[in-house]
Amino acid sequence: MAKILFVVTGADHWTLNDGTRHPTGFWAEEAVAPYEEFKRAGHEVVVATPGGVVPTVDRGSLAPDFNGGQEGADRMAAALAAFTELEHPVRLEDVDLAEYAAVFYPGGHGPMEDLAVNADSGRLITRALDSGTPLGVVCHAPAAFLAATREDGAHAVAGLRITGFTNVEERQAGLADKAVWLLQDRLTEAGAVFQEGEPWAPYVVVDGNLVTGQNPASSAPLAIELLKKLA
C-alpha cells in the first residue's frame, strides 16, 4: 500500500474579469473518480489544502446535468460523502514529498484562483517532477504549474507535453469571455507543449512521471495511468 497526496484547492470562488466572484471549488468527479481508483488498488489517500482549510466542492459538479441525470448525481453525492479524507486535510505548507508515493491534483475552477499563485504548491510540483515522483494533474488543476518556477525563472513544465482544460471547452462552458486569463494560453506561454483532444472526451498525456488529463471525463483514465507508475 502506498500513500498518495491529493492537493486540493482551498478556494471557493474564481474572480472574473469584471471583479465578480464565480462560486466554485473542486470538481466532484475529478476528486471522486481517482479517489475510488486509488482506494480500489489498496492505497491510502491524504488530502492537503492551502492553510489546511476544508475544501469546497463546486455545487455545479453535483448537478444532474453533469452526472448523466438524477441517479448519477445521487451516486456522485454519495461517493463524495464517502471521501471522508476531504474533511480532515493537512496543511499544504507542511507537506513532505518524501512521505508520498504519488501526488494528484483535481481541478475545478478553484485552482485558477489559489494554486496558480501558490508558492508551496509550486515547489511541491517542481520537486515531484525533478525526483521522478508520479504526478497527476487534471482539467483546471494544471493552473498550479504556473506557480512552479525554477531559480532562473523558468517554468518547471517548460518543454513537457501536457494537457488541461482547453480554450474550446472554456468557450463552450460559457466562461471564456469572463475569464481574466485562459489556462491553455498561460500554459503555452509558460513553455509547455500543450496537447488537446476532442472537447469533453477523455484525453490523457503522459510525459515521464507527469500525467495530465484534459477534462472531468479524463479523471479516471488519468488515475489508471498514474497507478501504472506505482506498480
The rounded distance, in Å, linking the Cα atoms of 216 and 94 is 28
The rounded distance, in Å, linking the Cα atoms of 93 and 139 is 23
- Segment 192-195 long-range contacts (CB within 8 Å, at least 24 positions apart): 192/145, 192/155, 192/157, 192/158, 192/159, 192/160, 192/161, 192/162, 193/159, 193/160, 193/161, 193/162, 194/162, 194/163, 194/164, 195/161, 195/162, 195/163
pLDDT of residue 181: 98
Beta strands (DSSP E) in 110-196 are 135-138, 161-162, 193-194
Stretches in the chain below the pLDDT threshold 70 = none
On whether the pTM is more than 0.95, the answer is: yes
pLDDT of residue 220: 98
pLDDT of residue 102: 98
pLDDT of residue 231: 81
